[in-house]
Amino acid sequence: MRSLLSDHHLRFLIASLVVILVAAAILSSGQFLDPYNFQSMAVQVPEVGLLAIAIAITMISGNGGIDLSVVSIANLSAIVAGLIVRSSLGGAGQGTLYAIAFVVIALLVGTACGLVNGFLVSKGNFPPILATLGTQFVFVGLSVALSGGPSVSLGETEVFSQIGNGVILGIPIPFVVFILAVLGFSWVLTHSRFGFRLYLLGTNAKAANFTGINNNTIMLFTYTLSGVLASIAGIIIASRASSVKWDYGSSYLLIAILIAVMGGINPSGGWGKMLGVVLASFALQMLSSTLNFLGTSNFLKDFTWGLLLLLSIVLTGTRLSGFVKPKPVRDS
């Protein structure tokens, strides 16, 4: 608790959530507090939230780390899985087998894409922003070539559809997947050798190298994990929509970056907590849902999101605005 209260970003995000919740309840005469509304928000958070985690871990790695290809990986994974499963199983009637095959293939494609990014950054010494910008267009091109451009229908897949639309004890399954991902990565960053080395690499790559850490291996593994997270997001998007397309979630990249930075991830590397990413995801979703509830313009939503980011930078000190690297701090 003391660590929570001592973090400026976490305090700001918690205060923002409280303010947004109170304002939404007052402006909607209490209707915003309907449990169904919170369930609806819980369905929407995971897609971009998973992508934000992928952005966050690549930022933590330092060296200008970022993965601009996450959305294109998500779409490519879903398109490849959809085309293969649909052609090999002859439709959606296979139920559980269809769902398992789709998930496995999508994860394999996401892993392969992540490995490509990791190889370019770690072995090819490409700047991450240029490497992933290039692969973003490559993956989009592959998606268009494979699908022909239009959306690819997955048919009526009841079992598969449950991944994106089902609930467990009243909690949407996508939200359960998101929370499990958050808990898993929080543990990895906090307790694993990889997590410690990732923070050290992001703080000072030369020092990490002198301690015997294989920086290339850490970078390769980091971008591979980013690809896996992106493919999970692609699975959720596909199961919710029962179709896949190369340009689904085209606005998610900037939103994911916004969430990561607002959540306290240092773009210079070496600092970041999964809790901050989660709170930032909730804050933006609650703000978006509030404005939608009130029937305001989407332009106002973009304005308030940008304003919230600027406020987080101004009110939480110079860690982001000055790009000052603190000492390596592990997730808690």
Q: Give me the residue spans of the domains in the chain.
A: 41-315
pLDDT of amino acid 301 = 78
Sign of CA dihedral 241, 231, 188, 128: negative
In 3-state terms, what secondary structure has residue 217? helix
* pLDDT on residue 327: 47
Fold of the domain built from segment(s) 41-315? ABC transporter involved in vitamin B12 uptake, BtuC (1.10.3470)
Low-confidence ranges of the chain (pLDDT < 70): 1-7, 90-94, 156, 317-332
pLDDT value for 3: 53
Q: What is the pLDDT of residue 63?
A: 85
Task: Give residue 329's pLDDT.
Answer: 47
Q: Which two tokens mark 65?
A: 């780390």
pLDDT of 4: 53
Contact in structure between 198 and 330 (CB atoms under 8 Å): no
Residue 103: Cβ-neighbour burial (10 angstroms; 0-12, 13-18, 19+): buried
Q: Please give the pLDDT value at position 204.
A: 86
Helices (H), the chain: 2-6, 8-27, 35-60, 70-89, 96-122, 128-147, 158-165, 173-191, 193-203, 205-210, 215-241, 252-262, 274-293, 298-315
pTM of the predicted protein model = 0.89
Q: What's the confidence (pLDDT) of residue 323? A: 42
- The answer to whether 209 and 44 are in contact (CB under 8 A) is no
Give the pLDDT score at 70.
Answer: 96
